[in-house]
């Protein structure tokens, strides 16, 4: 079945148990969703700490052969570069099969250590899929 041209709705609801990159203040996380050359960014959750809430929705046109998203979580800094918190892959198999996926996805540091998780709710209209 072809997915080309279908629209994937991704709602970034929030994160849990994020790795803390701040020593004296609460971190200000945001999430970047990447799909092919598309990069979408949530707003910064000021003082969001380790368990920020975003509840932001994105619409992404799907491309045949590309069935995963990348998510990257950053801590926003005003005077220095933003700090990398963690990243992870989001596989689209379940949403492309059922039309819906309400899952939490693990995040890892660059050294493959746990960095928390990101919660996504994804929808796609599977009835619009074209049979090959």
> Does some domain include residue 2?
no
- Cβ contact 86:115 at 8 Å: yes
Whether residue 37 lies inside any domain: the answer is yes
Alpha-carbon span 129 to 14, nearest angstrom: 29
Residue 65: which CATH number?
2.60.40.150
Confidence of residue 24 (pLDDT cuts 50, 70, 90): confident
Q: What is the tens place of the pLDDT at every residue in 70-122? A: 999 999 998 899 999 999 999 999 999 999 999 999 999 999 999 999 999 99
Write down the pTM of the prediction: 0.92
DSSP labels, 23-55: SSS---EEEEEEETTEEEEPPP-TT-TTS-EEE
68 pLDDT higher than 80: yes
Q: What ranges make up the beta strands (E) of 80-128?
A: 83-91, 100-108, 114-123
Assigned domain for 67 exists? yes
| Structural domain count, the chain | 1
User: Residue 130: pLDDT above 60?
Assistant: no
Please, what's the b/e burial string for 58-89 (b: 16 or more CB within 10 A of its CB; e: otherwise)? bebebeeeeeebebbbbbeeeeeeebebbbbe
Over residues 1-5, the mean pLDDT reads 80
For residue 43, give its domain range: 7-128
- Residue at 1 is within a domain: no
């Amino acid at each position: 079945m072809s997915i080309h041209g279908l629209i994937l709705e991704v709602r970034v609801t929030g994160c849990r148990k994020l790795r803390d990159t701040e020593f004296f203040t609460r971190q200000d996380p945001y999430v970047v969703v990447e799909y092919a050359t598309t990069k979408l960014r949530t707003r910064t959750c000021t003082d969001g700490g380790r368990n920020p809430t975003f509840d932001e929705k994105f619409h992404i046109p799907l491309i045949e052969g590309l069935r995963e998203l990348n998510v990257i979580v950053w801590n926003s800094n005003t005077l220095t570069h933003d700090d990398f918190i963690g990243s992870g892959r989001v596989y689209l198999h379940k949403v492309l099969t059922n039309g819906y996926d309400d899952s939490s996805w693990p995040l890892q540091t660059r050294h493959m250590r746990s960095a928390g998780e990101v919660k996504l709710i994804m929808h796609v209209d599977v009835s619009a899929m074209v049979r090959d």
